[in-house]
Amino acid sequence: MIIQCRKNISESQIDILAATCEGVVVKYDSNIFVVTPSAHKAVDAQFDNIIETSWVMDSDIQLSSRKFKADTRQIQIGKFTAGSAQTLLTVGPCGVEGEEMMEQTARLIVESGLTSIRAGAFKPRTSPYSFQGMGEDGLKLLAKMREKYGLSVVTEVRDSTHVQMVLDYADVIQIGAKAMYDHGILRACGRSQKPILIKRGFGTTLQEFVQAAEFVLSGGNPNVLLCERGIRTFETKSRFTLDLCGVAYLKEYTNLPVILDPSHAMGYAYGVPDLARACMAMGIDGLLIEVHPNPSVAKSDASQQLTHDAFRKLLESLKPIAAAVGRSIV
């Protein structure tokens, strides 16, 4: 359950409450909450005088539940406001590979009237013999694009050895599908106030996915976005299976903005535009699309990145769909 404490209650009283009910103390704005395991359904009467209000919950989806906070969280990312009628379209290559291609990408974004760039500097490859990313040099190039073009930067943390570095450089910290159970990363992100984009693991249930957000939220950072990017199923014609039923669930039951990544789900450029249009029609809060000036020479994910021309065409086709569902693309 979530317990909202009255104002002017001393920290020590709150700590006693938290200890008694095995709860976590969470501070948002000027309010203090104690969040207990959801198995707790009531609090001892001795605490009545320090409790403002409380919410009994069905599962450990608590701070992210619409039962606690009915409206989608508003989160500012550069010129984009998640939780409004805007849909973020953040694009870029799978990995930062050099300055020239990042320049080309940034110019595509600006010319398209968009506001955000995405690319990885730390690549979570499954083989030690593959390109592992440019590391801090890649982060520096991303920061350069932000300064030069006024773009917000979305980039990934791979493991907790460099989480602070990514927090320092990025506007949105992306926790990748393979890292989303990582307590080291989740807790570090919980201590920040920067927007955290958590990608669903490809073997992760929706329950576990949202509970990963609870680590960050209960750590004190209210700015979490969820990203569906495909789950692993028996089907092998596509790389993963984009779970739009899951998106319907997340929209219905959680207060977290939902971002979609059709590129990783499909794994092949040919299907990305159709899927992106499908996502847009669901009225989602954002889309990540992988684009590359020359996908055939990309050092990772070569098959799924769109050319710049293909992207421009996709964008044109997305606009009337966005309008049909009452949204604008930024």
Q: Which of positions 188-217 make contact with its own copies (CB under 8 A)?
A: 201-208, 211-212, 214-215
Answer whether 277's CB lies under 8 Å from 317's CB.
Answer: yes
Answer whether 5's CB lies under 8 Å from 35's CB.
Answer: no
The smaller minimum CB distance to its own copies, of residues 174 and 204, is found at 204
Among 280, 306, 315, 330, indicate the residue that binds its own copies (CB under 8 A). 280
Structure tokens, 136: 């801090």
Q: Is 321 among the residues that bind its own copies (CB under 8 A)?
A: yes
**Residues facing residue 157 across a β-bridge:** 175
Q: Is 297 among the residues that bind its own copies (CB under 8 A)?
A: no
The smaller minimum CB distance to its own copies, of residues 225 and 231, is found at 231
The smaller minimum CB distance to its own copies, of residues 17 and 206, is found at 206
Among 28, 55, 149, 181, indicate the residue that binds its own copies (CB under 8 A). 181
The smaller minimum CB distance to its own copies, of residues 83 and 135, is found at 135
Tell me how far, at minimum, the Cβ of 185 lies from its own copies, in Å.
7
Q: How far is CA 72 from the centre of its chain?
A: 14
What is each CA distance from 12 to 15, 21, 50, 284, in whole angstroms?
Answer: 5, 14, 12, 42
Q: Is 294 among the residues that bind its own copies (CB under 8 A)?
A: no
Residues 27-56 that bind its own copies (CB under 8 A): 35-38
Residues 225-264 that bind its own copies (CB under 8 A): 230-238, 240-249, 251-252
Tell me how far, at minimum, the Cβ of 53 lies from its own copies, in Å.
19
Among 4, 20, 160, 303, indicate the residue that binds its own copies (CB under 8 A). 160
Structure tokens, 289: 């699309």
Residues 3-22 that bind its own copies (CB under 8 A): 22
The smaller minimum CB distance to its own copies, of residues 83 and 219, is found at 219
Answer whether 266's CB lies under 8 Å from 238's CB.
Answer: yes
Q: Is 324 among the residues that bind its own copies (CB under 8 A)?
A: yes
37: left (phi over 0), alpha (psi -120 to 50) or beta: beta
Strands (E), 23-162: 24-28, 31-35, 51-55, 75-77, 80-82, 86-92, 116-118, 152-157
- Cα–Cα distance measured from residue 288 to residue 274, given in angstroms and rounded to the nearest whole number: 14
Tell me how far, at minimum, the Cβ of 78 lies from its own copies, in Å.
27
First to last CA, the chain: 37
Tell me how far, at minimum, the Cβ of 35 lies from its own copies, in Å.
6
Structure tokens, 106: 């940034």
Q: Is 98 among the residues that bind its own copies (CB under 8 A)?
A: no
